[in-house]
Each structure stands twice: as C-alpha cells, then as structure tokens.
Amino acid sequence: MTIEYLAGNRLRGTTAERPNAGDGTGGTKTTNSGDNIHTFTTTGNSTFTANGALTVQYLVVGGGGSGEQGGGGAGAVRQATGFSVPAGTYTVTVGAGASVGGNIGGDSIFHTITSNGGGDGNNNASYTGNGSGGGAYGGSGGSNTGASGGTFGNDGGDSSTNLHGAGGGGAGASGQDYSGGSTGAGGAGTQNLIVGSTIGESSGGNYYVGGGGGGAGSGQNTSGGLGGGGLGKDRNPTAGDPNTGGGSGGSYNTGQAAGGSGVVIIKYTPTSINLQDGAIYYDKQLNKEYILSNNTWTEL
C-alpha cells in the first residue's frame, strides 16, 4: 500500500503509513544544540511518549544503597547511544535511594533497560543486583568480605579490622578495603556522557554518577566516591547525592543516612513531519481520523 494524498490537506492510508514526528514528551524537557533531552528525577513511575520512532542516547541509574558501618554501594549505571525506541508510550521508573540502616536501593527502568539499586553496607553477602556491592565491616571475628558488584557496578571493599567499615563499590571502581590504618573510601563513579546534561557531581567540567559511600569506624571518617557517594563518619554520615545513585556513608556511633535517588535521561535528535497543521489523516485500518497540530496527531 502507498499513502494517498487527497485534496483539501487530507491523507489516507494504513496505520503503519501515517507520518509521525520524531519527538517525545515526558520528564523535564530541555534542548542542546538542536537535540532534545528528557530528564526524569522524581522517584516512582512516570511516562515517556515517543511520537514517532526514535534513536536515543540514554542514562539509567539505579538508587544508591545505604551504609551501616560499611558504605552503601552505588546504583547500577547503564548508558548507551543508538538505542531504538518505537513510537509509543513507555513507563519510566526512577529508583529511590535506600532507606537508612543498611538497605538496597530501588531499581530505575526505561523501556527494556533496568538498572538495579546499589547494595547495602549491612548484610553484604545478600546483594545479587547489577549495581555495586556495599562495603564490609569487621565483626567480632575482625574480618569480612564486601558484597560482589554486578555487570554495571563494582565490588564493595573488604574489612580486616573489628568494627571498621570498608567503602561501597562505585560504578567506576571498587570500594576501598579497610585494613589497619587504611581509609575504606567509596569507589569512584563514572561520567555522565550525555552532553548538555548537568546531572551528577561536578568535577573538571564534567558530571559523574554512581559513587560508592565511604566506610566508618571508631574515629574513622572517609570520603565517598566521586559521583555522589556519601561521607563515612564516626557520627552522622552523609547521604548519597540525589539523582546520582550514590551510596550513603557508613556510621560507627550515631546517625545513619539514606542512599541517593537514581535518574533516567533520554536524548535524541528530533525530526518533523513535512505537512501543514490542520492536515487530516484517515486510518483505513482503524477507521479513524486524526488531525495534525504541532507535529502531533490527535484523534477526531
């Protein structure tokens, strides 16, 4: 079949033949050098609508894990270019940062891409997600192994010293071990590669996500990983940064902190329908008419 162009700015054809704009709606929409960027920062579910088939670049970051004495692991960081998205409406999920007390972060999802939340700095051996594992802390036996990281993360550090925590894993590096006088710092995250996006921890003109939380112990204060990882402190550690998937720092005495929430970002180059506003399309398969306005078809 071939689309028919009729008099009076009218067209007729099948569902597949209807011209569609390469554009989208959802999240916070910005532009950069002619490209559209949709940023989703609110935890929970929302939607992204592709008005036509799109080829996108994406960044999907899971929520960060929370530390206890070991630092929380960072959420998984997945990003790629050249990802095909057919026309349609898709649920977008932004994972919450883990609640205080050594817990696993929430998953972030876009289309077929899932980034699991980061691991906890508590029951380390239980983490099986695709993010980073939480840091270990030495128990009564004085030695423990941090949780293993997944495909899109790294391992939490190990601790060989009683009641001292290691760093949570980051998207770019493993958490640092704690042994004797070492610090147990959180593992570094990775760069947000979407040009025009300012999501993440700023450093050297770039932005980083997925930093692991620092470990903690008696008199021990440690840094979080670049990319939103929280500080591990003897008292009152800091949370993972919002919308970075950073793990929270561990605490030895008082106070605990939550992991940083995740984020979903979608970028593409829009295309337009080369038709006049007010065009009418008759869909022979659905027996429905649609009117074009601002590159969007609306059923009459």
Per-residue pLDDT tens over the stretch 278-292: 999 999 999 999 999
Residue 17 has a pLDDT of 87
Contacts of 43 (CB under 8 A, 6+ apart): 63, 94, 95, 96, 106, 261, 262
pLDDT, position 123:
60
pLDDT at 219: 85
Convert the pLDDT of each residue in 56-81 to its tens digit. Answer: 999 999 999 999 999 999 999 999 99
224-271 per-position pLDDT tens digit: 999 999 999 999 999 999 999 999 999 988 889 999 999 999 999 999
Using H for helix, E for strand and C for coil, what is the string for 102-138? CCCCCCEEECCEEECCCCCECCHHHCCCCCCCCCCEE
Q: pLDDT-derived band of residue 207, with 50, 70 and 90 as boundaries?
A: very high
Please tell me the number of Cα atoms within 13 Å of 184 on its side-chain side: 47
Name the least confident of 48-52, 67-71, 128-132, 216-220: 216-220
Residue-averaged pLDDT of the chain: 94
**Residue range 5-30: mean pLDDT, rounded:** 91
166: number of Cβ within 10 Å:
45
Rounded Cα gap, residues 124 and 114, in angstroms: 22
